[in-house]
A and B are shown apart, each in its own frame.
Chain A
Amino acid sequence: MALVGVAAVLLVCIVVIDVITGPADLSFWRTLQVILDPSIATPKEGVIIWDLRLPVALMAVAVGAMLGVAGAEMQTILNNPLADPFTLGLSSAASFGAALAIVMGWSVIPGVGALFVTMNAFVVAMATSMALFAFTRLRGVSPEAMILVGIAMLFTFNALLAFLQYGASEIQLAQLVFWQMGSLARATWEKVGICLAVLGLVLPYFIYKSWALTALRMGEEKAAALGVNVSALRLTVLAGVSLLSAVAVSFVGAIAFVGLVGPHIARMIVGEDQRGFLPLSALAGALILSGTSIASKAITPGIVYPIGMITSLIGIPFFIVLILGQRKRHWQ
């Protein structure tokens, strides 16, 4: 519990640093004061901090937490250390949805206006997870079947995406590639609100099921002997995870790696008792994404790099160091 507190404090600091980073001279304390009490801000500070920087910083936190939680529970229900929202093809599905909007100009749900790229991405990702859901209901819920269908989805959507890319004009192609790289720059307060609402909806359920999820890590039979309805648990958690990752991916594009690494960092620190594992996975995801958000602005002053590139570039060496330094080996 102390660790969760430390991570939360660290996260607040990172968020403030995230807000400071960029062209404009802001001090740490002044920024913290303005965030805590908007009335003291000068108009310039108000615009920079409240309108421009804070939505992006909070979006990084919300999306990081969503991906961290989604990855953690996906690894738990699939009993697979490599599972994350990407393994099940959700991000390729979202990319395909976005490509439909960008290249063909099709909107799956008409009348959503400027949000139609996001909306398309969300609808296709959600439809994919529902197809996965339906398949597992039909065929029996085993982790192997879920992963194999997920991978089939991944390749299907990658192929469809390539198909669209082949026919796209150069401008459309550039737009599409940029979308896939993932960017926080599209953040608005509404999107932050939606992300937090989804988190607020799904997290309590996961917390409520935390003992059952911990028990599942002991093997299906053991969990069943403790009174866990394993199939129902897998299905409901899959639904929650799908919602989290579909929303996250449709707002910020394909940000790889956070959903995979956040939970692994949490696992190395507190183990897999969900009471520590779940909050720390969320915090680790949020920390990673906030940290990379700072890096994406700090590498070349004045340029904000797409965050998807940075997560992988910074995250992987860090992750390899963690693995090499780790004595205890789980998942063997």
Chain B
Amino acid sequence: MLSFLIGLPILSAVAIAVLPKPMNGDNGRAIALLTMLIALIWSVLLGFKFDVGLTTLQFEENLSWLERLGLNYRLGLDGLALPLVVLNSLLTWIAIYSTDPEVTRPRLYYILILLLNAGVVGAFLAHNLLLFFLFYELELIPLYFLIAIWGGARRGYAATKFLIYTALSGILILVGFLGLVFLSGANSFEYDVTLAQTLPVSAQLILLSILLVAFGIKIPLVPFHTWLPDAHVEASTPVSVLLAGVLLKLGTYGLLRFGLGLFPEAWAIAARYLATWAVVSVLYGAFTAIAQKDMKKMVAYSSIAHMGYILLAAAAATPLSTLGTVFQMVSHGLISALLFLLVGVVYRKTGTRDIDVLRGLLNPERGLPLIGSLMIVGVMASAGIPGMMGFISEFMVFCGSFSVFPVQTLLCMVGTGLTAVYLLLLVNRSFFGRLPEQFAELPLVEWRDRIPSLILTLLIILWGLQPGWLAHWSETTLTALLVGQGELATPALIAPIDASTRSPAAL
């Protein structure tokens, strides 16, 4: 069942590679689209067959591989991974659909995107630490080429920076995993086995901090974030969509699964500092975004700010806030993908992303009115206007974290105010006002440019109005994840005065 999700993209990548020459770009595109459509349907079907009451892994697959190393091919699906798997299939389909059909070297391009998809799905499904590491590294290679070949002017610099950073993150993950297994004396890298370890807290703290840096690079958290704006600015639109929508989620997923899940005691000690770190990340990302002139850079910095909320919620580790992390991951995935898609259309039609140059694009006759309207929707969703997904996920994050870290939560809320500032500046400067003469002859926006954004907009509104449809997938798993967290999670009814006497640093 689950191997199909990994195997299908790899198989069609091989098919695109070996099919005879007359196969031009269009065929590659069609194959890739069809593959991802099947994968999407498959993952949604899995979602329907998924038993939401169970806390154990579902659709499990276990093949022994390198028994000696403790490396087994063990896959499983639970409520934490399921929404991300569906999101991954959806966004990959959208990325392929929004690719320019005249893309250069089409065969290589589609092969790489399919491999990227396979790597990410594998990482989400893997329940063996080494297997996770393998998929985590596998995903890196296609993305490096996607940025380095189809990127903008400084693509070499950006791609290398991305590669070095993420490779470093991979190595640190490996160090953390190896350390965990050696110190605990286990003979296997199975997730369940490592879960049962009882290491001293000091050892846990050291391993946790290694993993924090590793996943902090991927998420990214300030100060490990500088690869992200460069990578986004240089990457082409579909790659940006995947990068922001799915790949960053590997970091937060890893943090929850391997940080919170494996080292609960150490996590409880570190939580206070993690929450403060989240505040720094949120405010730093938001303030830096205000000063940006390049639309893509602005959205990239806003990603940094929004991923900070996930760290806050993970640090608080209450049932509500952990559910909030999943919501925030999905909502950020959809919203940032939407924003990047729209910025991509603007860039393709006008040739610039500079908000000091763009003006009046909402113009109904010669501008991009529908793209502009969708942009307003995306911006509002990102700023957390109710009725859309951004609001309910932020609300869950804040409500869940407030009882544990009142001050940090309030400071993070300032971040949502700042989100409104920079995104509104973006819309106001580039879409409002009078359309200048230089943009009077914009190329026509075709439906092909609009459909992906429309799909994302609908989903953002749908889940914003019916968040319960997403919540029931993840709730049981996440509550089970927190079993070791009893001492940290204070009941929601206890007043913040109480919290302050318990942890002086919190108030």
The answer to whether A binds B is no
